[in-house]
């Protein structure tokens, strides 16, 4: 009996392991964000366009909004930019940009200004994170990363890498509609 | 006395500039020596232990102690500041896992969903022992030829 059952049990265990482990839909580099369902980290930063002005998400409480972390040093962000422009033209939700100065230099601010002038500005407001602290609070590992915050101020979705029209339609729009239906 | 204070201050500033030139208001500045190390050796030892156990999420198999990624530098600054502010190692790990998830730690916490990871080695040793014992018993019954 053992001679038959033991290999069979081992075989079943392997089948289960492979079914999970080799699933082609599973992205082994994807990291679940611990932020999902939690209150969005609050920030108050200077504006990219005006160092004396501030951008904060405190004033957005009660609204559904998108937060996009980017930087001019990030090639994927350039890929993403046209999609963000198209999305902003739909006027569905405010898109807050956080320009991440990865080397803590102020030069990034100038480059970001140029970027927005030359390529267009999809953001309702653009904050400048010079010391990288806000980006750490949001658990960002590599730009671009895009978050969706609901009307209760909770992070409900995070997308890593460049947002495309398709991603916007299939991942963001249904969640935005659901968040609004939920009375926010 | 004043000269000594000036020297210490200069060393602090020098160490600080090596480390993070863009934010002169960082509180960790005064606690660093000229090499960017924490002046208190106990804190420096804890700093090394903690950063070795935190994963650099940009280059996932390196710790933030080893990584050259900019984000790893920012996270090292965070750890240093929290140590200087008197936070415990657990506070620091909690800060990191609250933002980056359990994956940021090289040693996962013991939880129901990580039971397999922690239990597997013990299970394998027991299972192997069981097989060895069975074989040994069988052989014990074999005639010696």
Q: Inform me whether the pLDDT recorded for B19 exceeds 50.
A: no
Q: Is A142 on the interface with B (CB under 8 A)?
A: yes
Return the residue in A13, A34, A46, A100 with the most chain B beta carbons within 10 A, the one to mutate for interface testing: A34
- How sure is the predictor about B16, in pLDDT bands with cuts at 50, 70 and 90? very low
Distance from CA of A42 to the nearest CA of B (A): 13
For B35-80, write each residue's pLDDT tens digit: 777 888 889 999 999 999 999 888 778 899 988 889 999 999 999 9
Decide if pLDDT at B14 tops 50.
Answer: no
- Locate the chain B residue with the closest alpha carbon to A106: B22
Distance, in Å, from the CA atom of A37 to the CA atom of A35, rounded to the nearest integer, reads 6
Give the pLDDT score at B32. 75
What's residue A28's pLDDT?
66
In whole angstroms, what is the distance from residue B105 CA to residue A30 CA?
A: 16
Q: Is the pLDDT of residue B130 over 60?
A: yes
Question: Which pLDDT value is given to residue A32?
Answer: 72
Output phi, psi for A25, to 5 deg: -80, -10
Confidence band (pLDDT; 50, 70, 90) for B21?
very low
Q: What is the percent of chain B where pLDDT is above 70?
A: 77
Mean pLDDT by 10 residues, chain A (184 residues): 85 91 74 87 93 91 94 94 95 95 90 94 95 94 92 93 93 94 72
Q: Which residues of A touch B57 (CB under 8 A)?
A: 31, 141-142
Q: Is A107 on the interface with B (CB under 8 A)?
A: no
Q: Which of A29, A102, A139 sits opposite B70 (nearest CB)?
A: A102
- What is the b/e burial string over B42-58, where b = at least 16 CB atoms within 10 angstroms of the residue's CB? ebbebbeebbebbbbbb
ipTM of the complex: 0.82
pLDDT value for B5: 52
Q: How far is B43 from chain A (nearest CA, A)?
A: 22
Instruction: Record the pTM.
Output: 0.77
Residue A126: alpha-carbon gap to chain centroid: 15
> In which band, very low, low, confident or very high, does the pLDDT at B13 lie, cut at 50, 70 and 90?
very low
**Chain centroid, CA B69 distance in Å:** 16
């Amino acid at each position: 009996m053992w001679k038959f059952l033991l290999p069979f049990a081992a075989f079943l265990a392997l089948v289960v392991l492979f079914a999970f482990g080799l699933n082609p839909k599973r992205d082994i580099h994807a990291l679940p964000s611990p932020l999902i369902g939690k209150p969005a980290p609050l920030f108050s930063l200077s504006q990219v366009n005006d160092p004396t002005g501030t951008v904060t998400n405190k004033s957005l409480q009660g609204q559904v909004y998108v937060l996009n972390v980017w930087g001019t040093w990030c090639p994927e962000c350039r890929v993403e930019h046209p999609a963000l422009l198209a999305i902003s033209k739909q006027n569905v939700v405010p898109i807050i940009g956080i320009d991440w100065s990865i080397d803590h230099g102020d030069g990034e601010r100038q480059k970001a200004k140029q970027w927005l002038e030359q390529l267009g500005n999809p953001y309702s407001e653009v904050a400048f994170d010079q010391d990288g602290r806000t980006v750490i609070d949001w658990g960002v590992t590599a730009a671009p990363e895009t978050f969706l915050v609901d009307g209760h101020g909770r992070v409900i979705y995070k997308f890593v890498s460049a947002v495309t029209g398709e991603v916007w339609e299939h991942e963001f729009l249904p969640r935005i509609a659901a968040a609004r239906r939920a009375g926010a | 006395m004043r000269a000594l204070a000036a020297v210490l201050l200069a060393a602090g500033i020098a160490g600080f500039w090596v480390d993070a030139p863009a934010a002169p208001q960082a509180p960790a500045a005064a606690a660093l020596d000229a090499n960017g190390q924490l002046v208190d050796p106990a804190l420096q030892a804890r700093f090394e232990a903690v950063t070795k156990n935190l994963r650099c999420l940009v280059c996932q198999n390196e710790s933030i102690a080893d990584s050259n990624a900019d984000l790893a530098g920012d996270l090292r600054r965070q750890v240093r500041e929290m140590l200087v502010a008197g936070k415990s190692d657990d506070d620091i790990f909690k800060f990191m896992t609250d933002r980056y998830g359990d994956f940021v730690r090289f040693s996962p916490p013991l939880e129901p969903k990580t039971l397999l990871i922690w239990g597997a080695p013990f299970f394998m040793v027991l299972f192997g022992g069981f097989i060895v014992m069975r074989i040994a018993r069988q052989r014990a019954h074999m005639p010696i030829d």
